[in-house]
Amino acid sequence: MQQKKFKKRIGCIGAGYVGGPTMAVIAAQCPEYLVTVVDINAKRIAAWQTDDLPIYEPGLINMVKKARGKNLFFSTDIDSAIRDADILFVSVNTPTKTFGEGAGKAADLQYWEETARNIIKASNSDKIIVEKSTLPVRTADAMDRILNANDKGIHFEVLSNPEFLAEGTAIEDLLHPERVLIGSRETKPGLKARQEIVDIYTNWVDRSKIITSNVWSAELSKLVANAFLAQRISSINSISALCEKTEADIAEVSYAIGADKRIGPKFLNSSVGFGGSCFKKDILNLVYICEHYGLGDVAQYWESVVRMNDYQIRRFVLNMVQAMFSTVARKRIVLLGFAFKADTGDTRESPAIYVAQKLLDEHAHLVISDPQALDNARLVLQASAQKVEFEKDPYAAAKGAHALAVLTEWEEYKKLDFRKIFDNMEKPAFIFDGRNILDHKRLFEIGFNVYPVGKPPMSHF
Ligand code: NAD
Ligand code: UGA
């Protein structure tokens, strides 16, 4: 590899849902930068080197193919990638801590800190370190102290460049971001490093969309953005429960309130509840930080967003059991969708996990169907493998079923031949639409008993 022809060398530690797509886009848009993505997970790195990528994301393979082997490389040689890089993005996982102080709320920073120690060990020149992972506000302070305590005389400038992509639309979000946020210290070296990161993004993002700030504002804005998005979903979901009691229709309410520009129409789709690896984790982290600073009321305010989400998922399964004459034991129930949202194979914190577990507790015979997430679903439900069937084809899954529950808003579910499905089901046939994506009136006319979210049920009894 001729490294001389490249303007700068970028390293990225962590080749997951963020590191992989983000670096693929940077490499494709910035041919003058050499980009190397490393990970401790050798299987993941091997998959990034093939056309069978480790994650499903529309448009990702084309983006990878544009740059891979030219200025985009995937490797397990973490030390070399660190040593050679001028700029190091860190996008390792920062899950909720499961042990010790702050368990269940605080961010587990062990992977991040291990990375910092690797950086000190492998480096022999100054570097810009960019927090791409979502981190508690003031992490850069701790990192700065750990990294700059090195005895090699090397200077590390720590910046925050949080990622706002959503899974399923990652490539679109990266290519056309609404904003890019870059936080740095407001010192001479901090501002110089900030400019270097701005220079990467201006290869394809208009400068007016690049927001620069102090490093703490950037760190905190990421947590707050996720908290606000999740809050909208919990707010509308809380109203869905009231709609079910009052014959108001949540879709009509969402439309009516969203038409006010101050509220806006997005993120007002009532559902079985939000999932994904970040909303719950980031809100709980925000809650923990508020508690840490003695802001109990603020902490409780944000925690209620997560509580409302738990309530919504619980309520959905309870409705299912109650509608089916208060027992689902030995009934064949098909979950249409297991991914936490459409266009991804990711099942982390998917509401489907709770729904499945609850139905298994009720001794249902469960069939899981999903176009992209069956491998992950198998892993998640491996402890109950004997009691669960996995069937990609929704028609085969629905044969002999008592009920269907739509848990992921896959486009293809809207186009299913529900007449054919109904004919092959046990009667009475039930359908629970946890995403409100189906034509409920038509399903009712076919003969289904239909239970949407936040709308009156349509029952033949
Ligand atoms: P992920 O689990 O998919 O990827 C993280 C990767 O880091 C894993 O492959 C893991 O093996 C690797 N890793 C861990 N420790 C390492 C080490 N010491 N050295 C090298 N590699 C190491 O996680 P993700 O979904 O990509 O999320 C990463 C971060 O980005 C998190 O902080 C998350 O909150 C944030 N984020 C995620 C999304 C998203 O949509 N998934 C969006 C925005 C921000
Ligand atoms: C979310 C944010 O949208 C991203 O900006 C952020 O970068 C990312 O978290 C992160 O930090 O990880 P993501 O979790 O991938 O992205 O997906 P979303 O589209 O936000 O959906 C999250 C959940 O909310 C899904 O389960 C989705 O089905 C649900 N949702 C979304 C609703 O129930 N109703 C809505 O109106 C919108």
278 is a catalytic site residue: yes
The answer, yes or no, to whether any atom of ligand 2 lies below 6 A from the CB of 305, is no
Q: What is the pLDDT along the chain (461 residues), one digit of tens a residue?
A: 555 689 999 999 999 999 999 999 999 999 999 999 999 999 999 999 999 999 999 999 999 999 999 999 999 999 999 999 999 999 999 999 999 999 999 999 999 999 999 999 999 999 999 999 999 999 999 999 999 998 999 999 999 999 999 999 999 999 999 999 999 999 999 999 999 999 999 999 999 999 999 999 999 999 999 999 999 999 999 999 999 999 999 999 999 999 999 999 999 999 999 999 999 999 999 999 999 999 999 999 999 999 999 999 999 999 999 999 999 999 999 999 999 999 999 999 999 999 999 999 999 999 999 999 999 999 999 999 889 999 999 999 999 999 999 999 999 999 999 999 999 999 999 999 999 999 999 999 999 999 999 999 999 99
C-alpha of residue 8 to centroid of ligand 1, in Å: 23
- Best residue for ligand 1 mutational test, from 92, 121, 178 (most atoms within 8 Å of Cβ): 92
- Which H/E stretch holds residue 311? helix 296-323
Ligand nearest to the CA of 229: 2
Q: Is there an atom of ligand 1 within 6 Å of 92 CB?
A: yes
15 lines ligand 1 (CB under 6 A): yes
E-assigned strands of 108-155? Answer: 127-131
Tell me how far apart the alpha carbons of residues 221 and 162 are, in angstroms, rounded to a whole number. Answer: 9
Judged by its nearest atom, the ligand closest to the C-alpha of residue 12 is 1
Q: How far is the CA of 111 from the centre of ligand 1 (A)?
A: 9
Ligand 2: residue whose CA is nearest its atom 5:
164
What separation in Å is there between the alpha carbon of 281 and the centre of ligand 1? 13
This prediction has a pTM of 0.97
**How far is residue 392 from each of residues 327, 376, 410, 434, 435, measured CA to CA in Å?**
26, 13, 13, 19, 19
Tell me if 47 CB under 6 Å of ligand 1.
no
- The residue whose CA is least distant from atom 37 of ligand 2 is 267
- 3-state SS assignment for residue 202: coil
List beta partners, residue 110.
Answer: none
Catalytic residue among 12, 30, 243, 278: 278
Q: Which two tokens stand for residue 251?
A: 């879709």
Task: Find the 293 Cα to ligand 1 centroid distance in Å.
Answer: 27
